[in-house]
Structure 1
Amino acid sequence: MGQLSLIFLAAVLWAAECAVIATKGPLGNESCVDYKEAFERFFSIPGEVAILQCPLDLNALFNATETAYNITWYEERTGSEITELEQSVILQKNQVFFFNVSMQHQGKYTCVVRTERACYKQATWLMVNEMTSENCVRPLTGHQQIDAHVNDLLSCPLRRYMKSVDSPSIQWYKNCELLQEDEKFARIKDILHIRNIHLDDAGFYTCKLTFRLGGVIREMGETIECVVDDSYLRKPQVIDPVNEIIKIEKGASFRKDCVVVVRSTGIPMVEVIWKSEEGLISNLRSHRIHQEPMTEGQTDDGYRLVRTLSVSNITEDDFYLNFTCQAVSPRENPTGHVTLIPVDPDLFLFLGLPLGSVALLFVLVVLLCTLFKVELALWVRTVFPFLYKTTDGDGKQFDAYIAYPRVLEGSSEKAEIFAMSTLPQVLEGQYGYKLFILGRDGLPGEAVVDVVQDALSRCRRLLLLYTASSLCSPEAQEWAEQQTGLYRALLENSLSIVLLELEEIREPLRLPHSVRLLKEKQGALQAWKRRKRWAFMDRKSEGHMTTFNPSARFWREVRYHMPIRGKAKATSLFRF
């Protein structure tokens, strides 16, 4: 029995050990999302430090700041987990540090990231090669390209490790020679600036990272094969000025930008200068003529350089003098010119002012004629009656036929009072017009239709009076149609018709169709409307007081539309 217990215990321990080993395997029994091999390779040489970085992008897989996870590294060759049991290995975040690398460390390593719910893995390679070159060039190198004739830079591939170590510093070598700070090279952190690049600057550059880790100073390096491209840098172009001639007054100030475009991927080695026939223009702002410091801006395909020429006070000596902008570069030195000349004599005083005065006078006359058309016309008719032909002998007896609907009470009664009393008082009593008013001038017993037709044939104008309700009812429209002559005059436009609107019409669609069309065509004289600019003239009495109290402006408009009693003979061609 005891022997069986021992056998059972041994079997349980063996199963547990197998389970532990399985969890530590590179693949394990769990299902991990496999991203295969990463394209990037890590290079090292024996005796230096090698750093492997997990190729998985954690932030693309899950929220690394809020999700708990752990990273495990496995060696593909042995299938074992990499731990820190050896002093030559340090695990830090998503990196593995191998100290004193040997050829046995070369191979494929798998990074496994586990969370509570998922598992991801991806493999990467560590390449370890012996140094065989006598010029300190490592067996495996990266490649970077810089452009000729400009200032450009090289970037150390080890820059990504600088935040993972203490006291990092980088030194640059070309072949085995340590590069020093001078006019050619400048070191800024992990960047090597190379000025005035030539074709012989191509070659192998090694950046060596020295740092402290685990209390010990370590170092690692990587070589870059630098290729100089001599094809991309184009000639600079002066796009402004382009041989300009500028007119300017004596004593004025002058500023002109010289704009140069350089198409280049690197920092351009181009200087923009201004010069005159007397030599280079001063850079001192205290001088009357000087050039300001050059400004530089980056564009989509290169750089835009600007330098400004400034002249504080133009003198006679500056006229007809060529100011030249030049772009100085290793490729070419293009130029652009600007010449100042005095402005032409000012002809504005001789031509501009008279023409402007005539134009202004014309505008004023047109404006006055538009605003005071009625007043001017009445004044001319009064002062120069001989300009208009007389109405004598035209076969007409009356100046105007007064028509108004006499159907409804209220407004129609007011219209009748206005037609029978006010109009005769003003037009006949004050201005001597002859009016025919139905009901006043017709003979008793005559048929209305005959009276209307006969009267209209003897009148020069038709004055149709209406209120808000006098023409807007079926009865009023029937009244208008019953008077055949009036209806024909409205439809056929055989007689000059003047609409007198005694009250505001708020529903114009209720007017008879012929009246509405006529109003839309020529408008109506609105006795109810009063204008503020004529208010001071309303105080002058026209000799009448009625329910309707039109303004003086209204009466002038009525007179304007009445026939003109001129004195010229009928053969005269003058008309206003």
Structure 2
Amino acid sequence: MGRLSLVFLAALLRATECGVISNKEALGSESCEDYRVAYERTFAIPGESPLLECPLQNLFPAEMPYNVTWFEERTGSEISDGQQNVSLSGTSLWFPNISMESQGTYVCVLRTQSQCYRQAAVLVVSEMTSGDCERPVRGFHSISAGVNDVLACPLRRYIRSVDHPSIQWYKNCEPLQEDEKFVPNEDLLNIRKVHLDDAGLYTCKLTFSLGGVVGEMAESVEYEVNDEYLKKPRLIEPVNEIIKVERGSSFRKDCVVFVPGKGTTMVSVLWKGLLGSEEKFITNNVSHRIHQERMNESRTEDGFVLVRTLSVSDVWQEDFYLNFTCMVFSSRGTLIGQFSLVPADPNLFLLLGLLLGSVALLFVVGVSLCTIFKVELALWVRTVFPFFYKTTDGDGKQYDAYIAYPRVLDGSSEKAEVFAMSTLPQVLEGRYGYKLFILGRDGLPGEAVVDVVEEALTRCRRLLLLYTSTSLCSPEALEWAEQQTGLYRGLVENTVSIVLLELEEIREPDRLPHSVRLLKEKQGALQAWKRRKRRMCCDWKMEERVTSLNPSARFWREVRYHMPVRGKSKNRNWFSF
């Protein structure tokens, strides 16, 4: 059996032989580590010029100094250059014109500066069958129909050791000439569109020279053609990609491979990356932060799709700017695809959204606060920045407000009169400096009421209309000159602003005069009776405050808010009440 048909097995056995050293045996006066007999054989027929290479030299790097000595196992004698039918060519034995007597086992001894190794190589010489052009020993190989395939010359490894190498291909003992079907390329033979008829015995003959002597070697491989075929895989992704990802997030990346053809796939897909200080294949253990998942294979009409996913459960800073490599191994070669991770750019849309959302939230909060604390804010601005407002001096008005209250003598009206005559002046005039007109207090004795009201309203900037639940609804209210005149001036002539002060809770609003009801619906009324209840257990106390007309601080702030604004007014403590 030839070597090419058992390439994989040979490599495996050779690795096993190289990894297990049986013992140390003496050769002459030395003790060398014995690697026993190499698996690979060299085949020849009489008259050829085979090279026998030392199998140990592939175990050491080229820069390591060593020397090689050959021995013939049968005699144990060292082989020197110039002996009959054999010569040394570098680290190899060359038989210029081999005969059957040269067949046997030859021991290669390799020495370094500190150690010695030995291994035997077997040379097989077989006679050709009379009248038969086929070599007695051949290898076997399989190629696929329907695709372009490549045959490698079994002697290609000798090309670097000889001079003027030349290769000639034969099929079934007939020389192959280059045409559209067979294209020789140095030590390779390209066969285009392999057909079942392309099966047969292919021979590679190597002609060369060494030291001016011409020699030749040849080996044959019998190729069979099967209907199942697989073309060269194609790596779909990744292809030198740069992927942006956020630190701390999870990440998954697929390595996608397409294998055209039919049959059984013999393709391996593996992820490789820099783990720690060295590049390694990534583990399949799903408990690791970085691992690869099982390969998924699916069939399509044209071939197979292979997918292996790389999973990173938590992206670390050290993962950035490193290459993660997907490697595809097949009999037709190796493919490599890479990608690297870089930090993701700030999400401008997200930042813009957050900014706009914050602005909108601030706007809503601001509007809400302005709505809730409109009165307090307005009073604060008036107090701190009085120069923002025009002074009321010179507007032709003498009073800030006209106080109109019910003069019907019932229980509630008496309380309203006390509130109008005493409480209002104490607060608005005494504390805040407003100037009020109150009929009966500021008018001259003996003047007609109607005339006094008419003339006073023209000199007032506001009309504070105080009313109770019955004062505007009683028959006497129809003759209440202040009410009638003030409402006419405010609603019809629009010469004075009216502020409604509701001293009692109005349980039947429909009983109010139509003009007052419309005014209340339009601008509202300041309710002196209304207080915020802080404790349910104190309801009795709240009721006492209501009936005694002791308004809340909120009420007084609202009254001040509706009073005229005087620029550069006195610095008043608006936190009182």
Short-chain TM bin: 0.3 to 0.5
TM-score, normalization by structure 2: 0.41
TM (norm. structure 1) is 0.41
Bigger Rg, structure 1 or 2 = 2
